[in-house]
Amino acid sequence: MASQPLVTVYITNYNYGRFLRQAVESVFAQTLHDYELLIIDDGSTDGSRDIVLEYEGRPGVRVLLQQNAGLNRTSNTALGMARGRYIMRLDADDYLAPEALAVMTDILERNPSVGLVFPDYYYVDENGAVIGREIRNDFNGGVSLPDMPAHGACTLIRRSHLLSVGGYSEEFRCQDGYDLWLRFIEKHDVRNVNEPLFYYRQHGGSLSGDRRMIVETRARIKEAHARRSNRPACPTLAFVPVRGLSVDPHCLALEQLGGRTLLDWTLDAALEATQLCGVAVTTPDAAVMDHVRRRYGSAVHIVERPRAFARSNTALHDTLQHVLDSLPLLARQARACMMLSVETPFRSSLYIDKAVNTARIFDVDTVIPVNPENDLFFRHDGTGLQLVGNNQRYGGMRFEREYLFRAVPGLHLLTRGWYEKSPHWLGDRVGHIVLAGDALHVVSSARDLAVAETLLRLERERICAE
């Protein structure tokens, strides 16, 4: 190992003693030897510090024991210690393929304009058995909407470029790779290699398993990035279509949930959002209009919706245009419109702002909420059932280009540039936000409403217990 190494690999460890040795040994097994290894223990309490100290004094290895600081701050510590031209984080519960550094270093050495390269990877279980393979889209000219980031770990980065974008943001305790990705792609080219070069462990204690925390952190990252990067504002007019009982005897908009109506849940979330220039309810129902006037006054605009527009299976484009015609001042101000559904009471202001910030960052025509699907889907082609997309349980291969996402209710954003030229509710360039947890719950029946009451009670109990 050279005194001024080509690559710095750093391993961050927090209570992963049972996996740590495999991670370290996978670095020692690299076919490229021009590297240094930093092992940082972030305040472990499981005895893994003793394992870290076993490697102290080994040539090319430096060890740091610290109080718990979190992943992003620890990554900046490693960046400050690093001497390599390139730098890579390896999580203590993952491990590298022997050729990982050689393959990715070669790409950066041969392509000076590329600042970051990332590979495909294997999924392994807690015992290290391969259970799947992730195959990413080809970023060498095949991706025009880079809203699916590289994995935070095992991505090789030019250290000078990482420093040029300010390192890792310590505003967030997780999702360091997502925050870095947004800042990095604005300034530097990225590439990937469609070879599996590391092993990504799936186990109960992994941070990546907390989906709700990941989704909510990504929303805050997008908000911070849109603000820091001086992206043009996207004032958005939100409208809430409500049929009301006078048109639809099954309408639940004024039913109570936790002391508020379902309509109130949506309107309160919209008024808490920071990216909206106005909020309107459009309805033909007198009771709904009276409720909104009494509770919200001038804070919410009321547009009397023609009954013909409120019929079942009627496209919302005419309703949207009627709202814009009825609110000309807001219509001129808005760069986007967002439909909000009363059927998703737990879709908070965080998701509303996340949708607008997604449009700002990625310059898309449409933003829809989705839920990634890991279940199996089949179609019948006349010869029998054929698998749609892919799934780890069938062959172990996951192709990014075949991911399946289920569109879910809650919101639908259209930019002004799109809705002024087309009646279609999906633009040419469609962005997405992922909903998680209770935000996915749809209330379309009395039974759904009872479930929502239970979810609300459990959430309140969770908050009280913290």
pLDDT at 102 (0 to 100): 98
Task: Determine the pLDDT at residue 205.
Answer: 60
Matching residue, tokens 């633009």:
427
Beta bridge partners of 282: 241, 303
- State the DSSP H helix or E strand holding residue 287, giving kind and residue range, or none if neither: helix 286-296
Burial group, residue 37, by CB count within 10 angstroms (0-12, 13-18, 19+): buried
CA distance 153 to 150: 8
236-465 to CATH, choices 3.40.1190.10, 3.90.550.10, 3.30.499.10, 3.30.980.20: 3.90.550.10
d(CA 158, CA 19): 27
Evaluate if residue 399 carries a pLDDT over 80.
no
In CATH terms, the fold of domain 7-209 is: Spore Coat Polysaccharide Biosynthesis Protein SpsA; Chain A (3.90.550)
Can you say whether the dihedral through the CA atoms of 438, 337, 407, 173 is positive or negative?
negative
Quote the pLDDT of residue 176: 65
Q: Domain residues of the chain, as ranges?
A: 7-209, 236-465
**Closest among 407, 434, 465 to 147, alpha carbons compared:** 434
Q: Tokens representing 90?
A: 């390896």
The predicted pLDDT at position 229 comes to 82
- Name the band, by pLDDT with cuts 50, 70 and 90, for residue 314: confident
Contact 411, 338 (CB under 8 A): yes
The pLDDT of residue 397:
64
| pLDDT per residue as tens digits for the range 329-385 | 999 999 999 999 999 999 999 999 999 999 999 999 999 999 988 777 888 988 998
pLDDT value of position 395:
55
**Whether 337 contacts 303, CB under 8 Å:** no
pLDDT at 247: 94
- pLDDT (0 to 100) of residue 248: 94
Do 7-209 and 236-465 agree at the fold level? Answer: yes
What's the predicted TM-score (pTM) here?
Answer: 0.88
Q: Please indicate whether residue 451 or residue 311 has the higher confidence score (pLDDT).
A: 451
pLDDT at residue number 120: 95
Beta strand extents in 320-440 (DSSP E only): 336-340, 366-372, 377-380, 385-388, 397-399, 405-407, 411-415, 430-434
Q: What is the mean pLDDT of residues 200-210?
A: 70
In degrees rounded to 5, what are phi and psi of residue 70?
90, 160
Measure Cα distances from 100 to 27, 129, 131, 138, 439 in Å: 9, 19, 20, 18, 39
Query: What average pLDDT does this structure show over 41-49?
Result: 95
Contact between 277 and 332 under an 8 Å Cβ cutoff? The reply is: no
- Rounded CA-CA distance 339/276 in Å is 12
pLDDT tens digits, one per residue of 283-293: 999 999 999 99
Q: Rounded to whole angstroms, how far apart are CA atoms 94 and 336?
A: 42
Residues whose CB is less than 8 angstroms from the CB of residue 107 and which lie 6 or more positions away in sequence, other chains included: 114, 117, 191, 193
Taking the alpha carbons at both ends of the chain, their separation in whole angstroms is: 48
With a cut of 60, say whether residue 456 has pLDDT above it. Answer: yes
What percentage of residues in the chain have a pLDDT greater than 90?
A: 72
Residue-wise pLDDT tens digits, 98-155: 999 999 999 999 999 999 999 999 999 999 999 888 889 899 877 889 998 998 899 9
* Six token digits for residue 293: 């006037």
**pLDDT tens-digit profile of 408-436?**
999 999 999 999 999 899 999 999 999 99
* Residue 175 pLDDT greater than 90, yes or no: no
Contacts for 376-383: CB closer than 8 Å, 24+ residues apart: 377/404
**pLDDT reported for residue 206:** 57
